[in-house]
Amino acid sequence: MALTSSCSSSQPPGRNTQLVVPPELLAQIFSFSPPLTFQSPANYTQVCSQWRAVARALPEIWTTLTIVTPTKLIQTRADVISFEEALTDWISCSSNLTIDFTIRDRPNSRRFGPEGWDALYVRVYKRIVVRYSNKWRRLITPNSWNAWNFLSKFQTQPTLSALEELTISVHVQTGWRDYSKPPFLGSKHLHKLHLNINNDEEDHCCFLGDLISETVNVLTVNSAGHSGLYGYSLRQLLDQDQLQRITHLSLSRICWLDVASRPLVYGMITLKNLQELVVNGSICGLCGLLAMLTAPSLLRLGLSATVFASDQRHGPIVGPALLSFMRRKRSTHLACGLLTLALTGLSPDDWHQAMAFSSLFDILSTDAASTIQELHIQSDVRFRQPITASLMEMLRYDSENPSNQILPHLTTFSAYDLYDSSLPAQSFFADFVHSRWWPDISKSDQ
């Protein structure tokens, strides 16, 4: 017996009886593999008219749309018009549901045709975004789009009323002071904002506060410029009143020119509601940020360092800065314990990396660290063996002296680049795991 849909041709009686697939069953099957990209539609939409009709009648499978400027259609204006019509048709299939819409830059676009054709498609995308502005739940725009120019389209009637998450780039130093109203005035549900900063100048962050609406509590700032996000710009960003509403903050490629003087000259910053902080940057950048920041409500902290040539003379300075930060964050009545700590850049004491291993014990012994439940550590691959043995010995549970045990509430631990399989078999991890979570049953029964 062959399993087919009702779109199959009928067979004479007595011949190869075929089972018709009910539309309800097809709908359940299609929901497991919804169409995701405009360039690669789901195969089942092209099997037959009945399958296509069932798929088009399922709005929930048309709520994720990802597009890249096409290469095969760059021939005539008619192709561009057809492309826009096809996009409109996809959106119509979602009925009254909102859509996650991602527009990606096409790499090496000049290889495939005149630059003007790309501009035609960009205009199509922007028309679609504005025309269906109330459809977008999650909107990711290309790095080549300038936030200020793009968002000016919404100074008139269209609003991003359903928007919950936005990724957008900032290229120039003009702010919303040039416009009649602030952006996202109608975006009452926008709570996640991801900004890609493409400027290399140090004074471009003073306008970013205009983009951070009062509903945003999750903020990502990524420096896409050649030089990274320097201390003065970072200070401008953190000084914005809007940052006091942020609970989750991620900063990428932060740098610093003068570690010693910046916090002293510009003073401390307190982000009273910040619960999660994830930072990637140079060791000077991490040190400078930790030296000027207080976050009394912090629950999760992740630090990842990349050593630049200018950092080499400083040595592993992040450890002392983090120790000071951990002690400082519990200095107010809002203080709460840290739940998650992630560190990338651990190294031996005599190496110019982010953090010397000797400072880790002091950090994990602070009051702020006593409540940690998750610990994630990553070392440089060159230092796996010596750090592995010391770290496992530090973290293993000491049944003889439990009152002095660090991280007494640890439940989750991960380690990257700490173990080298080429080394002889060692029991570092086994002893640690056994001491923490699989104690000797016979002893516990005594």
Domain ranges of the chain: 255-446
DSSP 68-124: E--STTTT-HHHHHHHHHHHHHHHHHTTTS-EEEEEEPPTTGGGSS-HHHHHHHHHH
Q: Is 416 helix (H, G, I), strand (E, B) or coil?
A: strand
Q: Which residue has the tokens 């290469």?
A: 71
Q: 190-220 pLDDT, tens per residue? A: 999 998 887 655 555 667 777 888 899 999 9
* Residue 46 tokens, joined: 């092209």
> Which pLDDT band, with edges at 50, 70 and 90, does 98 fall under?
very high
Sign of CA dihedral 310, 300, 192, 178: negative
Report residue 14 CA to chain centroid gap.
60
> Which pLDDT band, with edges at 50, 70 and 90, does 286 fall under?
confident
CA distances from 329 to 18, 97, 121, 337, 361 (A): 70, 43, 50, 9, 18
pLDDT of amino acid 212: 87
Mean predicted confidence (pLDDT) in 401-415: 82
Half-sphere exposure of 409 (CA within 13 A, CB side): 13
Q: 419-429 pLDDT, tens per residue? A: 545 555 566 77
Q: Closest Cα to residue 372, out of 323, 331, 410?
A: 410
Q: Is 140 helix (H, G, I), strand (E, B) or coil?
A: strand
CA distances from 261 to 254, 266, 295, 319, 353 (A): 17, 8, 21, 18, 21
In whole angstroms, give the CA distance from residue 397 to residue 432. 7
Whether 35 shows a pLDDT value over 90: the answer reads: no
Whether 182 shows a pLDDT value over 60: the answer reads: yes
- Output helix, strand, coil percentages for the chain, rounded to the nearest 5: 40, 20, 40
Q: 333-353 pLDDT, tens per residue? A: 445 678 999 988 776 655 556
User: Helix H segments across 173-271?
Assistant: 231-238, 262-266
CA distances from 337 to 178, 289, 368 (A): 43, 20, 5
